[in-house]
Amino acid sequence: MLIAAMAGFMVCALAAPGAFGDAGLAIGLGYLMVVLVHAGLYAESAGREVIRFAPFNLLGAAALIAASFVDGGFRYGLWLVPLGAQYLAATVGRPPEPVTGYVLHSFHLVERHGLLLIVALGESVVAVGFGLGELTLDLGSYLGVVLGVGLAGALWWTYFLADDHLAERALIASDSSSRLRKALGGFFYSYIPMLLGVVVLAAGVSHALGHFGERLDVTRALLLAGGAALYLLGNVAFRIAMGIRPLTIRAFGGVAALATIFVGVAVSAGLQLVSLLLVLVVMLTWEMRGETAAISS
């Protein structure tokens, strides 16, 4: 399944810059692969409970595929369907109280999703390499690659600094009903924005390599800023679901990452990459020097 996830993430990362154009179908198919793998990983731990929410994600993937065959406002409307599907999954697909009849394996759930995130981050680095393409290598290209790898490393550290083992502890300490609610909130509703954030950021970095010293248009700058912000805010939601604190530092990090769009538009792609990496480094340093991440009582 992880090999399929690698393929899906790679397709999404490479096609993201042309998502609303000719690459729309590739985005939809890549997202479908990710959804199927994610459902399979969840089914290993939650069993048949995956049936409650997986269809909503499949609906979102189908909408993205359909969007590639239409134009204009209808296309943009179909792109909103996955967001609505997430809301429906969180409400209609909510499990009954109490939940009985299966055992959710906390260790396997955390481990498999950790591997999935590692795959996504690894594919983002590969996508950065593809971004060089036919470009003539110069100082800007080398700096862009270093910054891109640095961003991937910072995103890795953001989650694996403490969140993975704290999430496992939170699940183990919960009863069956609250354990499933935490698992759904953390590894389903919150995890997908984190994974998509990695893909979107990779697309932005890939484009920035060829325009390192140039100003970006709003769309390209938004790929960089929005990808990082989506990952960080998804991580905040993950911490809320798992009861992990602190939250404020990472929320500020997400807002600050989004604000770097103005740097890319007004100055250059290179400086926006530097700004994003600086935001992540400051956020992580601030957190490590301050309140230790822990499960709230």
pLDDT in tens, 84-120: 776 676 666 555 554 454 456 788 788 888 888 888 8
For the residues 245-249, what does the mean pLDDT come to?
Answer: 93
Q: Residue 91 is part of which domain span?
A: 2-295
pLDDT in tens, 192-218: 889 888 888 988 888 888 889 999 999
What is the tally of structural domains in the chain? 1
The structure's pTM equals: 0.81
Checking if the pLDDT of 155 tops 70, the result is yes
Checking if the pLDDT of 157 tops 90, the result is yes
pLDDT in tens, 160-189: 999 999 999 999 998 877 887 888 788 877
The CA distance from 191 to 195, in Å, is 6
Tell me the two tokens of residue 137.
């290598």
Whole-number average pLDDT of the chain: 83
